[in-house]
Amino acid sequence: MDADAIIVGGGLAGLVAACELADRGRKVVILEQEGENSLGGQAFWSLGGLFFVDSPEQRRLRIRDSRDLALQDWMGSAQFDRPQDHWPRKVAEAYIDFAAGEMRPWLHGMGMRWFPVVGWAERGGGHAHGHGNSVPRFHITWGTGPGVIEPFVRRVREHVDGGRIALRFRHRASRVLRTSGSISGVAGDILEPSTVQRGQKSGREVIGGFELSAGVVIVTSGGIGGDLDLVRKSWPVERLGPPPKTMVAGVPHHVDGRMIAVLQEAGAAVINADRMWHYTEGVKNWDPIWPNHGIRILPGPSSMWFDARGERLPAPCLPGFDTLSTLKHILATGHDWSWFVLTQKIIKKEFALSGSEQNPDFTSKSWRAVMKNRRGASAPPPVEAFKEKGEDFIVRNDLRELVDAMNALTGEAFIDHDRLRMQIEARDREIANPFSKDAQITAIRGARNYLGDKLIRTAAPHRILDPANGPLIAVRLNILTRKTLGGIHTNLDSQVLDAGGEPIDGLYAAGEVAGFGGGGYHGYNALEGTFLGGCIFSGRNAGRHAAR
């Protein structure tokens, strides 16, 4: 045999699995369809958020978290309701144990560190037993996505030097091989050499073929978010409404989901293919890396949110609270865009952009840059660049001029100035005293009770139409593709299951291709920080079990 194990995909889950195998003396080949500069996959582009439970960072900020509270939040969000959710539920329970126990010290021992202010993402729909995080749990890795993959890339490189891991770039798998019914390797195409930068669209010309033998195959090839047609084909119309006609891509083009069909041909079962996670706060990147490149705004709670016709979104459709409820509401309007309306004071303190490249201060691990950018007189430089150059951003000193520009941008006179002014003025009157019936005002004040939000993520309540807080800003928000929550059906050891629920000996799947574990350990909703965590957890399980 050419190796003990072949790993298809050089992203985070694949790197983790490879390290676990090679640490135990196994010989591994990693196949990656992109070039060498793409090692680490999508994780490289991430903000590096990880979901920990009862961490030292939380305790320092007086956040009282526990395994039981985290499990309550997870199950209230997942809403498992299908017979095939047995393994997704088991993986979710095991992941909560991991996140509340071994995960942080294990990663800390490899050299990972985290920003001391814990983020409060996906705050939920309003019920303790329902969707959302009851407490802040989003730990930004120091170094963002590159900081997450760095220890695993380093370990893989060490094993390459030691002869235990071989890297095969521009190798695109197309078949999982079987001999006498047993897994025996992988075959596929060798693609033309690639000279493009990481994330850019690479060529697909085939210059040869390959066939490699191994008794174990671990597929860690990612999801479908880069193929908008495949996203629409899998869209849960009955649950979320019709798929958007227009979307922006939150992941590179090579996140194409093609290995899901390859594994199905090898006998794997796919479950929960209609479960997916797409964002509602996408803006077109003014300096794109991949085709149709979108960036997500990570909003604080203060921007006013309006639909395409200028009607304010109801609770729990508030910035940062309930992603899929907001997505459903927006699509129910018959349009696939919406608007933030805010002030310079809000954008300065509350706007962050997803991705390692949009947070150079965190990515470069520069405390000086972080303090300068996050506590300065203006918004962080990447946000100011979008405000100046992004086609979805409008800045005006007068509301009527703002409305005219909003209508001009969409080519539709949907926004009525007087109606919009009435809604903003009504909200502004609620600022005058500490009492309010406005759910968003209550949420803003609640957020500022948390020290982390008060310091860097939530602006002091103020009147939007007061010129002293200006200028006024409107941001057109697009639907942004991101994550596949369903996928290849696996068990807790990341073994691929067939249609009858039995493991296919020697075949594993980990990361997004397996719904981050089990075939969808998030259920219907994600709590954030759990995508990278799911890759790490399922990749580790696959590598350790396969090594045995």
pLDDT of amino acid 356: 97
pLDDT of amino acid 377: 76
Residues 507-533 as b or e (16 or more Cβ within 10 Å = b)? bbbbbbbbbbbbbbbbbbbbbbbbbbb
Average pLDDT value for the chain: 97
pLDDT of amino acid 181: 86
pLDDT of amino acid 152: 98
Q: State pTM to two decimals.
A: 0.97
pLDDT of amino acid 53: 98
pLDDT at 125 exceeding the cut of 90: no
pLDDT of amino acid 376: 75
pLDDT of amino acid 238: 95
List, for residues 66-99, the tens digit of each pLDDT value.
Answer: 999 999 999 999 999 999 999 999 999 999 999 9
Find how far residue 335's CA is from the centre of its chain: 24
**Confidence class of residue 373 from pLDDT cuts 50, 70 and 90?**
confident
List, for residues 1-27, the tens digit of each pLDDT value.
Answer: 999 999 999 999 999 999 999 999 999
Give me the DSSP letters along 193-251.
P--SPTTSPPP--EEEEEEEE-SEEEE----STT-HHHHHHH--HHHH-SPPSS-EESS
pLDDT at 330 exceeding the cut of 90: yes
Cis preceding-peptide flag for 105 (omega within 30 of 0): no
d(CA 507, CA 219): 8
pLDDT of amino acid 399: 98
Find how far residue 243's CA is from the centre of its chain: 19
Mean pLDDT of the region 306-316: 97
Mean pLDDT of the region 435-441: 95
Mean pLDDT of the region 278-282: 98
pLDDT at 470 exceeding the cut of 90: no
Distances (CA, A) of 542 to 208, 413, 539: 30, 54, 5
Cis preceding-peptide flag for 382 (omega within 30 of 0): no
